[in-house]
Amino acid sequence: MSYEKIISDLREKKFKPIYWLEGEEEYFIDKVVDFAEHHILNESEAAFNLTVFYGKDANWPDVINACRRYPMFAERQVVLLKEAQQMREIEKLEPYIENPLLSTILIISYKDKKVDGRTKFSKLLKEKGVMLTTKKFYENQLPQWTEDIVQSKGYEITKKALMLMVDHIGNDLCRLENEIDKILINIGHRKTIQEEDIEEFIGISKEFNVFEFQNALALKDFSRCIRIIQYFEANPKSAPIQLVLPSFYSFFSKLYMIYGLQSRDEKTVAAAIGVNPFFVKDYLKAIKIYSFPEVEKVILLLHQYNLRSVGVNDPGTEDASLLKEMVYKIIAAA
């Protein structure tokens, strides 16, 4: 079951006695927990019927005793067990899960881990309650998800602004939504987020960023690459080399994939390499500039410089120097 469906059911008062929320993406887990904590019970009901435990400090007998209490002045009570992955002997909740109290809604947040599906404990969770298993988003899922979040709030975002934000923040969904909210507070009555808003309110330069660096390299624009590297050198937090190299590797890996396609139709290419059709033209431009052997050489160079960036076969060359050297070799070799 998705987190949206769980929240929708909770809003419609379609309750289950147990909700087990697990996995790598804490954003979805936190959304369900936050809704349960603030919206299932009204303020007066919550005073008597909301109990919150934290796994590191919680004991399983206390959790079971809280779940077995009957609600006061309300139809139900809510028991939240947050950070349950830190709780010792959590499997000892099994007797309660086997026979839960229907007037109690127990919500367990089990982040960064998954319960072993072969165990009786897991089978009971599936039988008696609702399980949500979350995964980190893939890179190609982030633009659409971010655009959907913006639109759900009644706004639009330009494609350039969208890519600036996603490339800079990555798959930290909580931060992405927080930055969106910050921008929306500041743009007033305007309904479209633009590149200038990303620069002003998040602090990402619209001219000197990983996205523009990637485009300059894709076009073999050496002088622009160097200007961007100089900006990074003067502003080390703007684009550390650990952010730049994976972005380049992703871009050239997609070029490598395009060479295996029979069709260069934009929709076909977009589906095959997993990017928004809006950006396919950037890849199709690059494919005219870099031959297949050149793309292979670039990928090998990126691997070498990734190793050097973490100290393998390198005495400690500064990041900016590594990038300048790498760009020169890529453009010279291609």
Read off the pLDDT of each residue in 238-245 and give the average, rounded to a whole number. 89
Convert the pLDDT of each residue in 200-239 to its tens digit. 998 888 889 898 999 999 999 999 999 999 999 998 888 8
pLDDT bin (cut points 50, 70, 90) of residue 171 is confident
What's 100-160 look like in SS3? CCCCEEEEEEEECCCCCCCCHHHHHHHHHCEEEEECCCCHHHHHHHHHHHHHHCCCEECHH
Q: Say whether pTM exceeds 0.95.
A: no
Q: What is the mean pLDDT of the chain?
A: 92
pLDDT at 334 over 80: no
What pLDDT score does 250 carry?
Answer: 92
Convert the pLDDT of each residue in 290-328 to its tens digit. 999 999 999 999 999 999 999 998 888 999 999 999 999
| Domains recognised in the chain with CATH numbers | 3-134 (3.40.50.300), 139-201 (1.10.8.60), 213-333 (1.20.272.10)
Q: Helix count (H) and strand count (E) of the chain?
A: 17, 7
pLDDT at 251 over 90: yes
